[in-house]
Structure 1
Amino acid sequence: MPRFQITPEEQATLLALRAERPARSVAAMPPGTGQRVADAVARIVGSWRFILIQSTLLAIWIGLNITAVIARWDPYPFILLNLVLSFQAAYTAPIIMMSQNRASEVDRRNAESDYRINVKAELEIEALHAKIDALREQDILKMLGIIERLVEIRSG
């Protein structure tokens, strides 16, 4: 048989959650300037448009240096190109990590809020079950009293 009575600890938790109103308490903190920049960089660098543009620029760079249309400023093995790409990776990787860390923090706060809302809902349902059971029990006692009076009247 399921348990529909809540313990005193659960009652205290429920009262705290009712006062807190967890469904309304998850206010997203506005991101700072650095966080907005990190999000913008991650959004740009993580797009197909960026990959296609960068691939095109790399192909042009390599093509111009192989065909010598313009003076070979970076002959094979393209050391300057490797330096530019390493520089780009060295700066974008930490910026992307900052954006991911902020996103995971927001996800963690949302998950915690969802958990608190679920606990509150569970406790509220158990409290409602207890109230319904109490009302049903009162109704049964009233009906028994009525039946007893009817029996007394009939046998009387």
Structure 2
Amino acid sequence: MNEQEIDKLLKHENDQLDKLHQIVKEAILDEELIVQNLLNPPLETISRGQKLSDKVARFGGSWWFIILFIVLLIAWITFNTVAIKFYRFDPYPFILMNLLLSCVAALQAPIIMMSQNRQEEKDRKRSENDYLINLKAEMQIRSLHKKMDLLLGEQVKTLFETQQQQFEILKEIQTKLNERS
């Protein structure tokens, strides 16, 4: 090989490396927005009412609440059944207890719904983050495919060029052999 061919091969290798560097730069720029969104999520501002609804929903959906409520109902029914008629404040059929249970249910339901709506918003944001992470992974895979395609294409081209040079050398050898005989 002469000096021009070596320079040509070195230039070709440098061009290939420049293409790979360009692919990496493009991938980094594409991923920058996604990374910013993942690293700096918007701050969640919670009002006092939202905090209260979360606490009520957490307590209202716990075993502690259920056990406490059952104990309270059993005490209520027992007291109003066993107590002397003068001390009974809600005799059978326990109308006051039914009224209080209805009020608790009527107030507790919308509070729990508010908390569930906030939880749904959190889940939506979490799924958006999952989508961004999946998108970032997909972009990295595409970048890798571009790099692999470039490398494979260049290798095939180099192999063909090398094979062509080998054929030329073989032709020269064959010509020299024919001249000697």
Instruction: Please give the TM-score of this superposition, normalised by the length of structure 2.
Output: 0.71
Count, aligned residues:
144
Q: 1:90 to 1:113 in 2, by over 3 A?
A: same
Q: Shift of residue 151 of structure 1?
A: 1.8
Match of 1:88 in 2: 104
Q: What is the alpha-carbon distance in structure 1 between the residues aligned to residue 42 and residue 107 of structure 2?
A: 31
Q: Aligned to 1:20, which of 34, 56, 67? A: 34
Q: Aligned to 2:162, which of 133, 146, 150? A: 146
Q: Higher Cα Rg: structure 1 or 2?
A: 2
Q: Deviations over 1:14-59 (max 9, x none)?
A: 9555323243344551433222211111111101111011101100
Residue segments in structure 1 that go unaligned for 5+ positions in a row: 1-11
1:35 aligns with 2:50: yes
Q: What is the alpha-carbon distance in structure 2 between the residues aligned to residue 15 and residue 126 of structure 1?
A: 14
Match of 2:132 in 1: 116
Asked if structure 2 preserves the Cα contact closer than 8 Å seen for 1:26 and 1:109, the reply is: no
Q: Write the letter of the residue equivalent to 1:64.
A: F
Q: 1:20 to 1:39 in 2, by over 3 A?
A: same
Match of 1:60 in 2: 75
Q: Aligned to 1:101, which of 93, 97, 117? A: 117
Asked if structure 2 preserves the Cα contact closer than 8 Å seen for 1:65 and 1:75, the reply is: yes
Runs of 4+ deviating beyond 4 Å: 14-17
Q: What is the alpha-carbon distance in structure 1 between the residues aligned to residue 117 and residue 29 of structure 2?
A: 33
Q: Shift of residue 127 of structure 1?
A: 2.6
Q: Aligned to 2:89, which of 50, 66, 73? A: 73
Aligned to 1:76, the other structure's residue is in SS state: coil
Aligned to 1:117, the other structure's residue is in SS state: helix
Q: Write the letter of the residue equivalent to 1:19.
A: L
Q: How does 1:121-132 map to 2 (within 5 A)?
A: 121-132=137-148
Q: 1:133 to 1:106 in 2, by over 3 A?
A: same
1:135 aligns with 2:151: yes
